[in-house]
Amino acid sequence: MAASFNTSTQTAQGQDGNRFALVSLTMLFFMWGFITCLNDILIPHLKNVFDLNYTQAMLIQFCFFGAYFIVSLPAGYLVKSMGYKRGLVTGLLVAAVGCLLFYPAASLHTYPLFLGALFVLAAGITILQVAANPYVTILGKPETASSRLNLTQAFNSMGTTLAPLFGGMLILTAAGAGLDAMDKAAEADAVKGPYLMLAAVLVILAAIFSRLNLPNIQDEQLASDGEPSKGSAFQYRHLVLGAVGIFVYVGAEVSIGSFLVNFLGEANIAGLAESEAAHYVAYYWGGAMIGRLVGSFLMTRFAPGRILAINSVIAAVLVATAMTGQGSVAMYAILLVGLCNSIMFPTIFSLALKDLGPHTSQGSGILCLAIVGGAILPLLQGNLADHFGIQTAFILPFVCYLFIAFYGEIGSKPKLADSAEGEAQLS
């Protein structure tokens, strides 16, 4: 009886610790969503400040998401060596340094320095992603991992919803209020205050997390049979295809968000001014927040892969409507894609990490590396927009959603990519 009581007490304490850890992690999901979505405001702002074309303006996303490609694998090794908690603190501090670099970039009025600041900021966010996403998947039952990750990602979407309102008010409105059209240096200064505030918040969060008593979980605990697995994460087909899924999903989501302000400013769509269009960007990301809250519930009752496939098909139809339609039909079609996007990233991520055992941190690093899609695809779409127009350029995310539908229905089934007996199903 005593042994039974002690075991149940320890289990209850572990569950309480997991809940506390999940609540704490939601703050980080909110912050990196907020910071990432500010790029959608920076793009039209710096496009005007430096007189850029669409391809040049998309270098903002190229440098930001390019950091994922360069930093993700080193971040995976870093997190594995120092632990998830220290990895979170390190990521917060690196991101704070990136925010601080916006001040000299604006003072010197230098576009390359802005791009460098974005790279450093994204490097910190990458470390956070590598540490936090697998942390969430293992803080509870494996069968509800997709549900937990969708729930925490809902707070990420809350950050992406509020960021356009924040950026539109403090950056776009401030830049256009009472400034001489030729005073580009003064216009660039509009970013100083917002990013200094973000730096302060990140430092405070780093101090808080350094003192939090979070569960210390090692990769070896993730093996289903208690034994370390041989090989590497690359031997799992569902992980490799999941990385492609993350690549095209992030590329599609970022491409759409990056072009929303300019798309809604087109005369045949809505003809909105930049500061007004920024408010509609919040609807795009707000749809993702609502969808993730609903998705967290649905994931406990329906197969995550099937829900992913259905959402992807609907998203493809909406993008096609935005490409071929005009006026409010095209405008609301593209905004509704945000609702479909809602469950995609966390669902792909959790499905791809399933059954990886001690290769989980490496798998997380590979998936975060694939976020480089947010660097490459917007640049390609920018080139398409320069040559064929914004509406036609949306053919790129349309194709991306078709692949995600394939992954949800077929590619997410756990399989070994290579084994002595061929492709063996994992139990």
pLDDT in tens, 232-285: 777 888 888 999 999 999 999 989 988 998 899 899 998 888 778 878 888 887
Closest Cα partner for 124 from 188, 205, 180? 205
| The pLDDT of residue 369 is above 90 | no
Structure pTM? 0.72
Distance (Å, rounded) from C-alpha 255 to C-alpha 87? 29
Give yes or no for a contact between 264 and 335, defined as CB atoms under 8 angstroms apart: no
Residues in Cβ contact with 231 at an 8 Å cutoff, skipping those fewer than 6 apart: 359
**Residue 169 CB neighbour total at 10 angstroms:** 15
| The pLDDT of residue 182 is above 60 | no
Tokens of 221: 């605990």
What pLDDT score does 419 carry?
43
Please give the backbone phi and psi of residue 425, each rounded to the nearest 5 degrees, phi first.
-70, 140
The 3-class secondary structure across 123-154, one letter per residue, is HHHHHHHHHHHHHHHHCCCHHHHHHHHHHHHH
* CA separation, residue 20 to residues 23, 85, 212, 321 (Å): 5, 13, 10, 43
* Boundaries of every domain in the chain: 14-411
Distance (Å, rounded) from C-alpha 423 to C-alpha 114? 47
CATH of domain 14-411: 1.20.1250.20
| Each residue's pLDDT tens digit, 288-332 | 778 777 776 777 778 888 999 999 999 999 999 999 999 999 999
**DSSP state, 423?**
S
Give yes or no for a contact between 162 and 201, defined as CB atoms under 8 angstroms apart: no
| The pLDDT of residue 113 is above 60 | yes
Give yes or no for a contact between 373 and 251, defined as CB atoms under 8 angstroms apart: yes
